[in-house]
């Protein structure tokens, strides 16, 4: 990492993007060949089936109100012009992953950003950035919203945040973090509070998106809490005391749990590790007085830790750009033990690639992958 030259950054990020996408394509083709599964079935497991059904039939099933409408609307539009919706979803995610990696590079700068983007592209759960899930689209919109907000271009940040809010409830956490950035940012001149309040006012645009969806659910489902009810009924994500959530998760990770599905316990163990990583990143941001970043990760950790059990945290790690920037900074920071740090990062890269293969194989073969 110390040999990363500023001018080589974009090329290395493109190479990491291409290499990681090719690796996932190889696992995908291997799955089709070894199992005889049709490509739509291999790429259409788990939440993909919900997104496609919503795109075709609307919110007919009660628990599908848990999914925000952004991605289904895009898939529906693709189908309306004669495109295969599964293929369109894959294309959206693949392109979105490129824009998300680009934004990470911009956030971190030529050296830190290069390493951060490369590590993000080979994150263990990166399979969710090439299938019709919301991770790529959300990360692309949210990361670029952060780039523009840091530049003081709040109008663009608001538009991009609105895109993020249309695909995931995580958009609410993004708005909270951007609000903290607007209030704690450095502004020049005597009209600091006017500029802060103006930045906050821009966030009313993306805030209107989840408000509109809640209104739609109130009209069609008869409840302002239809989204929460769908989460609780369909996925058991009801508000739970954090010690109870941990206890529920603990029962899923002990030796012998899910003996008939041994991979499930390992996925739950990864969820626990992901929550721990989120806590560490939040504390590091607080220590560094990066209040907005601490809010972005910390609020998500609190939300996951107060659900029935830890679920989907491994995918949410893809959204925690402060984590990837910290790893990039760790790898490129000058000083003592630089070689040791590089070895650690390279070692993690190798382990992560192996986990990418394992996770992708689980998803493509229909096994639970969070």
Asked if the model's pLDDT at residue 9 lies above 80, the reply is no
* pLDDT at residue 121, as a whole number: 98
Structure confidence by residue, pLDDT tens digits, 247-259: 999 998 988 777 7
Length of the chain: 370
Structure confidence by residue, pLDDT tens digits, 26-49: 999 999 999 999 999 999 999 999
Structure confidence by residue, pLDDT tens digits, 124-141: 999 999 999 999 999 999
Number of structural domains (the chain) is 1
Percent of the chain with pLDDT strictly greater than 70 = 96
Mean pLDDT computed over 69-79: 98
Contact between residue 67 and residue 54 where contact means Cβ atoms under 8 Å apart: yes
Contacting residues for 224 by C-beta, under 8 A, at least 6 apart? 214, 217, 218
Residue 190 lies in a domain: yes
* Greater pLDDT, 233 or 46: 46
* pLDDT at residue 259, as a whole number: 74
Residue 369 lies in a domain: no
* pLDDT at residue 218, as a whole number: 95
Range name among 87-91, 199-203, 308-312, 333-337 with the lowest pLDDT average: 333-337
Residue 136 lies in a domain: yes
Nearest in space to 313 (alpha carbons), one of 280, 270, 354: 270
Residue 1 lies in a domain: no
Distance CA 87, CA 221 (A): 31
Contact between residue 297 and residue 278 where contact means Cβ atoms under 8 Å apart: yes
Residue 370 lies in a domain: no
Residue 58 lies in a domain: yes
Residue 105 lies in a domain: yes
Q: Residue 94: give the domain boundaries.
A: 6-364
Structure confidence by residue, pLDDT tens digits, 296-308: 999 999 999 999 9
* pLDDT at residue 238, as a whole number: 84
* pLDDT at residue 258, as a whole number: 79
* pLDDT at residue 244, as a whole number: 95
Residue 39 lies in a domain: yes
């Amino acid at each position: 990492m110390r040999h990363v030259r500023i001018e080589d950054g974009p090329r290395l990020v493109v190479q990491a993007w291409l290499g990681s996408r090719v690796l996932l394509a190889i696992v995908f083709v291997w799955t089709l060949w070894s199992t005889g599964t049709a490509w739509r079935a291999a790429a259409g497991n788990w939440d993909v089936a919900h997104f496609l059904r919503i795109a075709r039939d609307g919110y007919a099933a009660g628990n599908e109100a848990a999914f925000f409408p952004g991605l289904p609307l895009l898939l529906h539009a693709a189908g309306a012009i004669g495109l295969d919706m599964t293929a369109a979803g894959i294309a959206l995610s693949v392109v979105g992953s490129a824009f998300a990696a680009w934004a990470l590079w911009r956030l971190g700068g030529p050296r830190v950003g290069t390493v951060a983007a490369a590590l993000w592209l080979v994150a263990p759960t990166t399979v969710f950035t090439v299938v019709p899930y919301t991770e790529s689209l959300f990360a692309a919109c949210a990361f670029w919203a952060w780039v523009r907000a840091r530049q003081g271009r709040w109008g663009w940040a608001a538009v991009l945040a609105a895109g993020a809010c249309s695909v995931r409830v995580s958009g609410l956490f993004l708005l909270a973090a951007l609000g903290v950035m607007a209030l704690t940012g450095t502004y020049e001149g005597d009209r600091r509070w006017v500029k802060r309040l103006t930045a906050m006012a821009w966030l009313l645009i993306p805030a209107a998106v989840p408000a509109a969806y809640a209104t739609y659910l109130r009209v069609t489902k008869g409840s302002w809490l239809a989204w929460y009810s769908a989460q609780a009924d369909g996925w058991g994500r009801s508000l739970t005391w954090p010690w109870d959530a941990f206890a529920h998760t603990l029962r899923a990770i002990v030796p012998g749990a899910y003996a008939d599905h041994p991979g499930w316990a390992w996925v739950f163990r990864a969820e626990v590790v992901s929550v721990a990583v989120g806590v560490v990143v939040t504390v590091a941001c607080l220590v560094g007085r990066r209040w907005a970043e601490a809010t972005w990760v910390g609020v998500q950790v609190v939300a996951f830790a107060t659900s029935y059990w830890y679920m989907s945290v491994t995918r949410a790690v893809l959204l925690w750009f402060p984590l990837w920037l910290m790893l990039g900074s760790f790898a490129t920071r000058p000083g003592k033990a630089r070689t040791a740090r590089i070895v650690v990062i390279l070692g993690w890269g190798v382990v992560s690639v192996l986990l990418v293969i394992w996770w992708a194989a689980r998803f493509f073969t229909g096994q639970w992958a969070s």
